[in-house]
Structure 1
Amino acid sequence: MESNGTVPRAPRNRSVVLGVLAATAALLLAQAASGTNARLVLLLVFLPALLAGLGTVAQTVAVSVWVAVVVVVSTALFPPPSLEARVGTLVAVIGAEAAVIGLCARRVRRERELSRMRQSAVALQRQLLRPLPVTTADVRLDGLYRPVEEDAMVGGDLYDVAETPFGTRVLVGDVQGKGLPAIGTGFAVLSAFREAAFREAELTGVADALEAAVERHNAYAVQSGEQERFVTATVLGLHGPGGREVGARVQAVNCGHLAPYLLRGDGRVESVALPAGIPLGLASLAESTGGAGPRAVRRFALPADGVLVLLTDGITEAQDGSGVFYPVERGLAELAGTPAGALPEALDERARRWSGGRSRDDVTVLAVRGPGAP
C-alpha cells in the first residue's frame, strides 16, 4: 500500500516489462513448436485485462500497444487464410484493448475518489479527537491514534480526556462499523462525554449520559434509514496523587470494552478485571430481555511507578500468518523498560510486526500514569 494507506500500489514498471516479455516469448515459442496454424499469440490480449485491475493507466496503455504490435507482426508473418479473418482479428484486438484501457481508467478514478473521501474522513476524525499528550493535575496521558491502512473507510475509534471538578475523566471506545456514519455516532458520544464529565458527580452518571446519547443518535439514524450502532467504551475517573506509593486512585465503568492493562514498575503486567458491562446503545435491549443491571464501578489504585494501558481491538486483533492474535500481555511485559511516553508507539510497532504490517482496524493506545511518574 501507499504510505497513506489508501491507494493500492501499482506493480513496478520493471516487473510489468519482464512479465510481458516472458509471456510473449512463451506464447510465440509454443505457437512455433505446435507446428499448426493455432493463433496462440492472441492469448496475449488477456495481459492488459489482468493489468487493468492492478496497474496504472499508462502501464495498461503500454501493454495494450505492445500486444497490438505483436498481433500485427504475427498476422503479417503467419496470415490467416482470408483477408476478412485478418481484418477481423485486428479489429477485435484493438477493440478489446480500448475497452480494457477504459475500465482501467475508471478503476483508477474510482480509487482516487475513495482516497479523497477517506482522507477527508480521517481529517474530520482527527479534528474531533483531542491532541495527545495531555497532562492534568491528576495524571499524564500519552497516546497514539492510527487509522486503519487496509480499508477504504476509516474506523470508529474514539477517546477523550476531561479535567473536571470531580477529577480527571478519560474515555476510550470503539464504534461498531466504519465510515462517516460511525464517525457520526462517535461524535455523539464525544459530545455527551464532554458535557456529562463536568455535570455528573458519579461516573455511572457519565456512562448513563453516553448511553442516552447513543440511543438518541440511533433514533435519528432509523428515521433517516441508516443502521443503528452500538459503542464499546471504558470510562475512567482518576484522582491523584493518592500518596507516595499510589500515583492515582482510579474508578472505572466498563461498557463492553476491552479490559485495560496495568504495567507495574517491576515489569509485571496484569489485566484489570472490570465488571461486565453492556455496550452503549444496547442497554434498553438488554433490559427487555432481563440481561442488564445497573452499571458497576470498579475501584483500584494506579501505582506511582505504574502505567495503565487502554487500547482498542486494532491491537488485540492483530494476527500473524497462522491466525494467532497478538499476545498483548506478553508484548507489554517485553516493553516494561520503555518510557510511558514511547509505550503506545512501541506497542503498535510490535503488533504491526506481528501481523506483517496488515491492519484490519484503527489503532488507539493510551498510556495513563501519575503526573510525576517517569
Structure 2
Amino acid sequence: MAETVADEDLKQTPLHDLHVELGARMVPFAGYSMPVQYKAGIMAEHQQTRTKAGLFDVSHMGQALLIGPDHETTARALEALTPSNFVELGHGRQRYTVLLNDEGGIIDDLMVTRPLSEAEDGKLMLVVNASRKDVDYAHFRDRLPENVTLEVIDDRALIAVQGPEAVAAVAAHAPRAAELGFMAAEPMEFDGIDCHVARAGYTGEDGVEMSVPAGAAEAIARALLADDRVEPIGLGARDSLRLEAGLCLYGHDIDEMTSPVEGAITFCMQKRRREEGGFPGAERIQGELEKGPGRVRVGLRLDGKAPAREGAEIALPDGPVIGTVTSGGFAPTVGAPIAMGYVPVEHSETGTPLELIVRGKRLPATVADMPFVPNRYYRKPKA
C-alpha cells in the first residue's frame, strides 16, 4: 500500500497535523502523506468501524465540477465518456460510474452527484481517485464539448464517517444528515459550517462522506472525534473494510485493461445505456453483456489462516494456473483470509474449488459470493 517517495515531495491534506498529533503512522500514498494506522492498530480500527463509527481522511481524493448550460447538456457530455445514465439522475442523487477508454477499459471509477438545488442545474459534482486525478482531468478536458467545462476544486477537504453509529454522530452537528437515504446528497451546515454531505462510503457500512472547506476540516474532525462513538481510522483498515465489502480498488481490481463486465460492476450501467450504447468501448462491453466475458472478478475464501496477497496465482486443484489474485488479506469480521481475483467464466461459479499459490505452496480456496460481510447501507423507507 505504501510507496517509496521522498517526504519533501509528498502533499499533505488539511488534516495532516491532526493525524500526527493523534500518533498516526504516516506513509506515502498516491503522492500524499497519509495515515496507515493509529496507536490502536488496524484490527481495532476495523472493528471500531464495524461496531461504532470511524473517521477517515479522504481529502487526497480529487473533487471537481462539470459545468454546462443545463443539466441535459452536462449529463450527455458525461454519458459520452461513461456507461451510466446521468440524464435521468435526480436532484440530490449520487451515482457510481467508470470513466472508459476507447477499448472499454476503465480509466478510473468515480462518484457523480447532481446538486439538490435546481439553481445549480448544469453542474455535476465529481469525486475521483487520488492516484488518477491528473489522468482523469486531462481526459475530461480533451474529450468534453466546448460548452461543458471542468472546474477542479482545490480548497475543500473530504471526510468520511462510517459505521452503524456514524450518521447519528454526524447528525449531532448536522441534523439533516439523518434524513438522507443511501446515495442521497445535499448541502447542510455542520455546527454552522457549510458542507456537502452524501450518505455513501467505501466500507459496506452506513455512513456519510462530507465535502468541507479545507480551513474548517480540522475543527469538524475534532468535533466528531470528541464523540465517544468515533475514532480515527487509517488506510490499513480502510482496505480491509472495502475488501470485506467486495469493493474494487483502482489499479488493483480494475484498470485500463478491465471492462465493467469483467470487473463485475455492471450495476453502474443502467438499462438505457446497456441497450443504446454510445459510450467508449460499447462494442466490446455490449458483446460481453450478451455473450459473457472471457474472465470475471470473483470472491475467494481460503481454508486455514494464511492469506493470499495481490499477485498470487489462482490454479485449478492440482492443475494449471488460470488467474491472479488482485486483492487479498485477513478479514477480521469474517475471521478468515479472503481475496478477490480474476478467473475464466467457466470457473467462476460460487462453490468452485480452486487453489491459490502462495510462496510456492498451494492453498485450498473456494469461489465465494460477495460481499463477504453483508452491506448495511441505509435504505430510506418509501413515503
Q: TM-score, normalised by structure 1?
A: 0.22
Q: Which is greater in Rg?
A: 1
Normalized per residue, the structure richer in strand is: 2
Q: Which has the higher helix share?
A: 1
Q: Which has the higher contact order (CA 8 A, sep 6+)?
A: 2
